[in-house]
Amino acid sequence: MTRSFLTLGDLNREELFEIFQKALKLKAAIKARKEIFPLKNKVVGILFEKPSTRTRVSFESAAIRLGGHAIYLSSNDLQLRRGEPVKDTARVLGGYLDALVARVYDHRTVEELAEYSGITVINALSDIAHPTQAVCDLLTILEVKGSLDGLTLAYIGDGNNVCQSLLECCALAGVNIVAACPEGYHPKAHILDNALRIAEKSGSRITVVDDPTEAAKGADILYADVWVSMGEESEKEKKMKAFKGYQINADLLSIAAKGALVMHCLPAYRGLEITDDVIECPQSIVWQQAENKTHGAAAILAFFMDSE
Ligand code: CP
Ligand code: NVA
């Protein structure tokens, strides 16, 4: 059966940990320059409606390193730009490709691509979710800490796509998460409810608060995302005001647990959501986090494409 990865709801806990293990194995094999071909003769399309450095290149590189091929498809260069419906595009691409990694504005687009293409569709970021980011982030924490048990992650910022996937992924993995978001920028109620439901099984504590200091106090990981997401540029001024105070800086780090890790999905805007001294400090694991996007991508491709 063809399976897609649109949100963390598409994985159970065992499968999430299987992907972590697969990623660590593939990372070791890639570092040892071993030849590995789980995607031999497979063609992966990378269809993006928005810019990307990490997600695009990490998936392209992963597909190639696993023996497959990657084709980058900017939505601007497809007939989509001239109004060809998503469902028609999906049915056509389904005949050419074995999987499609898609970054879209509206989450409904990845759902439609999955519904009509008949191939594995991987959500590379939508307005609702960034599931591959969350999987790769928890992979990095697991790699650094050796275990996820008993950890608390404090997310500081906008309760949108990255935060929402972290809530669900932490709930699945059994990691406690406190999200501090300004009023008007809390995660969507149905996603929070979903995370709380998943957490009933894993035992993780899921909380959303207004105050960044309440979230950061004693946390093992401080996590930032940009204040102004792609496509929200017209709201920049309003968001700058709303997010003032939601910055990961030395003061916030000083109240976290001793040796707390600092993470950021990137791209980072130094002086806004994070200060330069904190992103560059020894506790910052952002570059390892960014590198692991390709090892996580490799495991996600191998896992979902194998399930066909
Ligand atoms: N973190 C992340 O998704 O980065 P890109 O926008 O560069 O892909
Ligand atoms: N919330 C950000 C994430 C960037 C990786 C955005 O949607 O632009």
Ligand 2: residues with CB < 6 A are 125, 160-162, 225-226, 229-230, 265
Q: Contact 137/166 with Cβ under 8 angstroms? A: yes
Find the length of the chain. Answer: 308
249 is in an annotated binding site: no
Closest atom, ligand 2, to C-alpha of 229: 8
User: Which CATH number is 8-129+293-306's, of 3.40.30.10, 3.40.50.150, 1.10.10.10, 3.40.50.1370?
Assistant: 3.40.50.1370
Alpha-carbon span 11 to 297, nearest angstrom: 15
The alpha carbon of residue 165 and the mean position of all alpha carbons in its chain are separated, in whole angstroms, by: 7
Please give the distance, rounded to the nearest whole angstrom, from the Cα atom of residue 60 to the centre of ligand 1. Answer: 13
21 is in an annotated binding site: no
CA nearest neighbour of 263 among 117, 91, 94, 145? 145
Give the residue carrying structure tokens 């997600």: 55
Q: Tokens in use for 58?
A: 């990490």
Instruction: Please report the pLDDT score of residue 291 as a whole number.
Output: 98
Q: Tokens in use for 229?
A: 């997401």
Residue 308 has pLDDT above 60, yes or no: no
Kindly report the protein residue whose alpha carbon is nearest to atom 6 of ligand 2. 229
What are all long-range contacts of 238-241, with beta carbons under 8 Å and residues at least 24 apart?
Answer: 239/158, 240/272
Closest atom, ligand 1, to C-alpha of 53: 7
Kindly report the protein residue whose alpha carbon is nearest to atom 4 of ligand 1. 54
Domain parsing of the chain, residue ranges: 8-129+293-306, 133-289
For the chain, give the mean pLDDT: 97
Q: In this predicted model, what pLDDT tens digit does every residue of 42-98 receive, in sequence order?
A: 999 999 999 999 999 999 999 999 999 999 999 999 999 999 999 999 999 999 999
81 is in an annotated binding site: no
Please give the distance, rounded to the nearest whole angstrom, from the Cα atom of residue 273 to the centre of ligand 2. Answer: 13
- CA distances to 53, 58, 130, 305, 306 from 76, in Å: 17, 21, 22, 27, 30
Q: In this predicted model, what pLDDT tens digit does every residue of 147-180 receive, in sequence order?
A: 999 999 999 999 999 999 999 999 999 999 999 9
Q: Tokens in use for 171?
A: 């709930």
61 is in an annotated binding site: no
Least distant ligand from the CA of 229: 2
CA nearest neighbour of 90 among 77, 72, 82, 78? 78
56 is in an annotated binding site: no
Residue 307's pLDDT band (boundaries 50, 70, 90)? low
CA nearest neighbour of 228 among 216, 242, 215? 242
pTM of the entire predicted model:
0.98
Please give the distance, rounded to the nearest whole angstrom, from the Cα atom of residue 146 to the centre of ligand 2. Answer: 28
Please give the distance, rounded to the nearest whole angstrom, from the Cα atom of residue 225 to the centre of ligand 2. Answer: 7
| Domains 8-129+293-306 and 133-289 fall in the same CATH topology | yes
Total Cβ atoms within 10 A of residue 149? 9
Ligand 1: residues with CB < 6 A are 52-56, 125, 133, 265-266
Q: In this predicted model, what pLDDT tens digit does every residue of 173-214 receive, in sequence order?
A: 999 999 999 999 999 999 999 999 999 999 999 999 999 999
Least distant ligand from the CA of 289: 1
Q: 133-289 has which fold?
A: Rossmann fold (3.40.50)
